[in-house]
Amino acid sequence: MRVETDFKLGFKDVLIRPKRSTLKSRVHVDLERQFTFLHSKRQWRGVPVIAANMDTIGTFATAEILTSHQLLTAVHKHYSLEDWDAFLADKEQDIYERVMVSTGATEDDMLRLSQILGKYPGLSFICIDVANGYAESFVDFVAEVRHNFPDKTIVAGNVVTGEMVEQLLLSGADIVKVGIGPGSVCTTRLKTGIGYPQLSAVIECADAAHGLGGRIISDGGCKCPGDVAKAFGAGADFVMLGGMLAGHDESGGQLVERDGQQYKLYYGMSSETAMEKHAGGVAEYRASEGKTVEVPYRGPIEATIRDVLGGLRSTCTYVGASALKELTKRTTFICVREQENTIFD
Ligand code: 5GP
């Protein structure tokens, strides 16, 4: 047993210090980034915010709206080939650069992935997602996907430490997804005691990835647009959102009404709700590591997207970054014991 005594930080432990700036208005802040990916060598340009590959978030309906803002959607893995057929019929080329095909790491997953990409070779992103990205078998699966799809941009995760980011990049991933336990409907830390505060995970993993020419996604734990800005400030190339995008018209999940109020169900992909729905129940040997919550219904997702992007633009003006690309080097975090004023909460 070993104890690491250096303090690890979450979003709630820091604020970003404002800096002198010559920027006149947030209108001038450029939120688009351009990347050329390590292995696929593909170029991508857009706003690097991603809807999570959960069946309540990464829906086709979400993808349609997010695409129009140049954002990405990791489309959840429970759509069939026929669902993809219906979604892609007559779609413009842009959508192929703005959706990721999500997959697990089993043989069946590989089969389904091959069917979708075989039929729609224009789709450029694959998101290989498992709860624990530390297993050797997962690394082998990533290498197999790279071998089978040499020109696709591959996302792999989740991990939270630099050495595993390096391992996944060397095994064929272009982008590594970072986050174990910070999610709004995740109970991994409670069930297993495993985790890593998200801000430190991002700082350390970004450093490891950028050294090799790879990219990272900060996945989970953002509660407000300020947290999204902190993730980018910490070095994330992309930020993935679940809970912040829940409860909208475009979200999956049942709409329920109680005492005249409307709510939408939002649940973790390892929750009992998800396992009942997709796997016919929770297997005996495992515990569910996700929960189910009711989110107040929030109408169309459009307003929330504008709120997130508006917040990010404002962060950039406070620190004098004319583009999102500059945010990390303009960021100084200060460690704090308080965040916002909660008098009216
Ligand atoms: P949020 O933005 O809601 O804080 O986090 C979304 C992320 O939580 C997802 O992208 C995914 O990585 C993670 N997640 C989703 N469902 C579950 C689950 O059931 N268990 C765990 N441990 N994490 C989950």
Percent of the chain's residues with pLDDT above 90: 92
DSSP 251: S
Ligand 1 atom closest to the Cα of residue 246 is: 3
Q: What integer pLDDT is reported at residue 267 of this predicted model?
A: 94
From 73, 177, 185, give the residue whose CB has the most ligand 1 atoms within 8 Å, as the site to mutate: 185
pLDDT of 281: 82
Q: Which of 272, 274, 249 is nearest to 262 (CA)?
A: 249
Contacts of 312 by beta carbon, 8 Å cutoff, 6+ apart: 29, 31, 225, 228, 229, 232, 324
Q: Tell me the pTM.
A: 0.98
Whether the pLDDT of residue 275 is over 80: the answer is yes
Helix segments in the chain, DSSP class H: 60-68, 81-88, 107-119, 136-148, 162-170, 188-192, 198-212, 225-233, 272-279, 302-319, 327-330
Q: pLDDT tens across 147-158, in order?
A: 999 999 999 999
Q: In the prediction, which pLDDT does 341 show?
A: 94
Q: What is the pLDDT of residue 282?
A: 78
pLDDT at 345: 87
Q: How far is the CA of 3 from the centre of ligand 1 (A)?
A: 27
The yes-or-no verdict on residue 188 having pLDDT over 90 is yes
From 186, 205, 222, 316, active-site residue: 186
Only one residue has tokens 């995970």, namely: 201
Sheet holding 292-296, edge to edge: 255-258, 261-267, 292-296
Measured in Å, residue 306 CA sits from the centre of ligand 1 at 23
C-alpha 19 – ligand 1 centre gap (Å)? 33
Residue nearest to atom 4 of ligand 1 (CA): 183
- Residue whose Cα lies nearest atom 10 of ligand 1: it is 52
pLDDT of residue 24: 85
Tokens 């992909």 correspond to what residue?
269
Confidence (pLDDT) at 283? 79
Torsion from C-alpha of 35, 315, 317, 330, nearest 10 degrees: -60
Pocket probe for ligand 1: among 76, 184, 186, 293, the residue whose CB has the most ligand atoms within 8 Å is: 186
Q: What is the mean pLDDT of the chain?
A: 96
Q: What pLDDT is attached to residue 279?
A: 85
The binding-site residues of ligand 1, defined as CB within 6 angstroms of any ligand atom, are 52, 54, 131, 158, 179, 183-186, 188, 219-222, 240-244, 268-271, 289-290
Question: What's the whole-number mean pLDDT along residues 92-105?
Answer: 96
Q: Is the pLDDT of residue 285 over 90?
A: no
User: What pLDDT score was predicted for residue 178?
Assistant: 98
pLDDT tens-digit readout, 215-245: 999 999 999 999 999 999 999 999 999 999 9
Rounded to whole angstroms, what are the CA distances from 193 to 138, 181, 187, 289?
Answer: 22, 9, 10, 11
Mean pLDDT of 253-266: 93
Q: With CA atoms as reference, report the closest residue to 13 among 241, 202, 163, 176.
A: 202
Span from the CA of 186 to the centroid of ligand 1 (angstroms): 5
Q: What is the mean pLDDT of residues 121-142?
A: 97
Residue 186 known to be catalytic: yes
Question: Whose C-alpha lies nearest to ligand 1, atom 22?
Answer: 186
Ligand 1 atom having least distance to the Cα of 180: 22
